Structures are given as structure tokens and as C-alpha cells.
Structure 1
Amino acid sequence: MAEQHSLPLPRTVAWLGYGGLLPFLALAPASLLDHHHGMVWSDALYAYGAIILSFIGALHWGLAMSLPGLTERQRSAWFMWSIVPALIAWPAVLFSPPLAAPLLIAGFIAHYLQDRRLAGQATLPDWYLPLRLRLTSVAAVCLVAGVFATCV
């Protein structure tokens, strides 16, 4: 089990995780550089951020269902947490970028902190938390950049 815990980042996970950043990396500069359609790109950026935030919440639902050794209280807490990112993401799509950005960024950061808590209760691969930190960081920077589309 210890050998499996210290395996390198699987290639498929790397492709999917980093590939999931492509819309962030395309939409943030598009919202800044395309003055005619900047708000459209910015809205798309925040909608994508909301979808991804909801998706990562679902990770905790899956882990709550499948992790052995969790107490019933721990399992219930992870099930309850797993819906919080969607509850944060949903109003963000209704807000303007200056309100959506901090809400989504707070959701991504809160989820990363919950990932760290989960790592203390479960045996997650060594690559999981560093990957989540990198993905969260890039998403947050792109969401901040999208706010400036409204200022241009």
C-alpha cells in the first residue's frame, strides 16, 4: 500500500487535470484582450469556474462513498461538504465578475483546505494535494484576471 501511495502523478490524471485548465487559460486573456466581446468571455470564464468548482465538490462525495475506515460521522461530514462547492458556485453565475470572482476563489480555496483535511483522514496519493494546489492556484489567478474585463 505504501508503494501505491508514493506513485508519481498518473499520465491520464495529469492530462485531464492540466487540460481542465485550458478554458481558464483561454478565457481569462480573451476577456481582457477582446474589448468587443470581453464580457461574453468573462461570463464564460465564471460559468466554467462554477462548473469546475461543482465538479471538485463531487470528488468528496465519491470519496465519502468509497473510503474504508471512515467513521459514520466523518462520512456524513464529507457527504455534506461535497455539496457546498455547488452551493457556492450557483450564485456566482448570477453575479457580475467583481462579485463572482471572490466567491469562486473562496470556494476553490475552501475546497483545497478541505482536501488537506481529507488527506489527514484518508490515504490519498502523494501527488493529489500538490496537483490540487497547482490547479487551484491557476484557476484563481485566471478568475482574478477576468474581473479586469469589466474595467477595460
Structure 2
Amino acid sequence: MFRAARPLLRLTARTSANPLPLRTCSPVLRRPGAPWRPVLATPSLAARSSATAPPPKQPIDHEHEKQVAQQSIEARPGEVSSQSSVRHVMEGSSSSARDDPSLSRGVKHDIEVFRDTFRLSAVPRESHILGLAGTLPYLATSLSTIFLAWDLTKQLPTGNALYDAVFIDHQTARHLLGVIEPLQLGYGAVIISFLGAIHWGLEYAEKKPSPKRTRFRYGVGLAASAVAWPTLYMPLEYALTTQFMAFVALYFVDSRCASRGLAPPWYGTYRFLLTAMVGFAILLSLVARAKISTHGRLSSQGLSSSMANPGIADNETDWAKLEAEDMAQARREKAEAEKKKKEEERKKKSGDGKKADGDKK
């Protein structure tokens, strides 16, 4: 079968070596008005097989294989140890991975993206400065709360000259804390309302009306004020937690608006930095309040327990009776001592009288 096929393949190979003629469609089969297009003849099977022929095989060097087979394996006991055949769990990276230029370029790119995020190069200079300045009252009140909480947990005088010079008395610290905490809550309510009102300003600047967009922006502004101001009537811990959640929710809304074109492109990154700073300040205040509450609870518990604790006293003994007995014993001893003293004086006087009578005789 294969012998009969070889002449056929040679014949087809010779015919495929000739240039392929152009074939055209018959005028009868062509549609009227259709353009004339030349059609190339289909290549033969032999031409396809020759185009995809495998690469030639390399000759085998039998002499070299014999030389390698005759060589003996050298003994190297110095390289064998208890850890030489063990694969470690933590293996160092190869030099190729360390020297990979694509990896270093990727790391540099990530670092540049991180720097651009906090550099805020796309943010207008005025917005950048005013936004950072707006976080200063939050940081100031939070750091003051931390200091006053530290002061209230110390017993004055502390015995340390530096601490005694820095700390203030507890009454003044409580008064300042009562002033700082409402300031922080009020400022937070103002800032949350301001962030909601920004969406009203963006809607007023639009040229084309859109009822859906208008309802969304007005709703964000109203929701921000509705959440912010009731926090002034809450306990401090709940109020700070609510304001923190409001800041985070407004950040996600602003970031979504920036990605959808409802806010400037830089607004999402700008709000991320400011929200992170404000959130950090609120967390500091919450930690300080928790420290004050824990110290006050422990102090009150310790005072009540020390007052109610009987200690090592014996409640079963009648101490009043024992005291009366001791006093009676003391009176008896005193009476006996006076009686002995009087007897000695009487004996002394009687002895002196007898001596005087003997001298007279």
C-alpha cells in the first residue's frame, strides 16, 4: 500500500511545484452586477505536508555515550550531611527571582501608586490645605482626651518629679474633659453635615436636569444631617461610634460618585485620606474613654470592697466585755499597789517610832 502511494505523492509534489493558476468564476454562474474576483487554487495535500514537516533528527554520538558510561562516580562525603537530602519548609528565593527586572518594575510601580495616593497631586492646592486643616481640631481634641484620661488614672502625687510637673489635679481634668468632649461631638456633626451639603452644591452646578441624580444628591445631604445632629444627645461612646460610621458611609458614597462621574475624579482619593485621619482620631477618643470608664469602675469596686471587707478581725469575740474586764483588772492592780504602798509607809513609820523610843531610854 505504501509503495503504491509513493509515486502518487511524487507526482503530486511535482505538480504542486508549478505556479498555481488563477481561476475565475464562469460568467454564467456569476450574479449580475457582482464584481469579478480571482480565486486561487487550493494547495495539494503534499504541499501542506511539506510545509509542516518535523525538524530533522540529530545524530546520536555513540562514542561519547560509551565514554560517559565508563566513567566512575566520584565519592564526595564532605557534601553529605543530615540536612543535604531534606527539603526545608521555608526555602529562600532563587537569584533569578530576585534579579527579575519585571518583579522590580512591579514593586516600583506599586510604590509609586502608593505615593501618588497620599501625595494627592491631582487635588487642587486649596482643597488639600483646607481639608488637612479641618482635621486638626479632631486630632487636638483626641490627643487632649488621651492626656486627660492618663491624668485621671494616676494618683497624685506620683512620686515622679516630671509627672508631678505635667499632670493636673483630677477636678480640673474632669472639668476640661467635660468641655472637650462636647466640642468634639459638635465639630463632628458640623463636618458630617458639610460633607452631605457638598452634594447639594454639585447638583446646583449641573447644567442638565436629571430627576434621579437630583433625588440621590438631595437624599445624601439630608441623610448626613439627620444622622449627625442627634448624636449630640447620645452617650459619648455611642455618639462617637455613630459619627465614625457616618464618616465611613459618606466616604463610600463619595468614592462611588467619583467613579461614576458625579464628583471630580480626585474626590475619592481626597476623601480617603481625610476619612482615615478623622477615623484615627475618633478611635483614640474611644480608647481614652474606655480607659477612664475601666479605671472608674475598678476604683469604685475597690473602695466598696475595702469598706465591706472585714479583714482579719474576729467578729465572734465580745471586745467590749474584754475591755471591761481589762479595766477592772487594772483597777484591782492599782488598788493592790496603793494598799502595799500604804502598808510599807505604816511599817516604816512604826519602825522609826520604836527607834526613837529606844534612844530616849
Q: TM-score normalised by the shorter chain: which range applies? A: 0.7 to 0.9
Distance in 2 between residues matched to 1:17 and 1:138, nearest whole Å: 11
- Calculate the aligned-residue CA RMSD, in Å: 1.8
Q: Over residues 57-100 of structure 1, what are the superposed CA-to-partner deviations in whole Å (9 max), with x where a residue is unaligned?
A: 10011112223456211211111111111111111111122101
Q: Over residues 25-72 of structure 1, what are the superposed CA-to-partner deviations in whole Å (9 max), with x where a residue is unaligned?
A: 111010121240224222211211111011111001111222345621
Match of 1:125 among 251, 254, 264: 264
Q: How far off its partner does 1:20 sit?
A: 0.3
Change in 2 beyond 3 A, CA 1:16/1:50? same
Match of 1:113 among 252, 260, 283: 252
- Whether 1:10 aligns to 2:120 is no
Q: How far off its partner does 1:23 sit?
A: 0.2
* Structure 1 stretches of at least 4 aligned residues deviating more than 3 Å after TM superposition: 123-126
Distance in 2 between residues matched to 1:43 and 1:14, nearest whole Å: 27
Change in 2 beyond 3 A, CA 1:85/1:50? same
Q: Give the counterpart letter for 1:9 in structure 2.
A: V
Check whether the contact 1:21–1:139 (CA below 8 A) recurs between aligned residues: yes
Normalising by the residue count of structure 1, what TM-score does the alignment of the two structures yield? 0.86
Q: Over residues 87-120 of structure 1, what are the superposed CA-to-partner deviations in whole Å (9 max), with x where a residue is unaligned?
A: 1111111112210111101111111111122223
Check whether the contact 2:259–2:265 (CA below 8 A) recurs between aligned residues: no
Change in 2 beyond 3 A, CA 1:132/1:70? farther
Distance in 1 between residues matched to 2:144 and 2:288, nearest whole Å: 9
Distance in 2 between residues matched to 1:147 and 1:42, nearest whole Å: 11
Distance in 1 between residues matched to 2:219 and 2:186, nearest whole Å: 23
Percent of aligned pairs with the same amino acid: 27
Secondary structure, counterpart of 2:204 in structure 1: helix
Check whether the contact 2:254–2:263 (CA below 8 A) recurs between aligned residues: no
Match of 2:136 among 5, 10, 22: 22
Check whether the contact 1:60–1:79 (CA below 8 A) recurs between aligned residues: yes
Normalising by the residue count of structure 2, what TM-score does the alignment of the two structures yield? 0.38
- Whether 1:59 aligns to 2:198 is yes
Which one has the bigger helix percentage?
1
Distance in 1 between residues matched to 2:288 and 2:179, nearest whole Å: 10
- Whether 1:41 aligns to 2:155 is no
> Gaps spanning 5+ residues in structure 1: where?
1-6
Q: How does 1:67-106 map to 2 (within 5 A)?
A: 67-69=206-208, 71-106=210-245
Distance in 2 between residues matched to 1:70 and 1:133, nearest whole Å: 29
**More displaced, 120-129 or 99-108?**
120-129
Secondary structure, counterpart of 1:25 in structure 2: helix
Check whether the contact 1:31–1:39 (CA below 8 A) recurs between aligned residues: no
* Paired residue total: 146
- Between structure 1 and structure 2, the one with the greater Rg is 2
Q: Give the counterpart letter for 2:276 in structure 1.
A: S
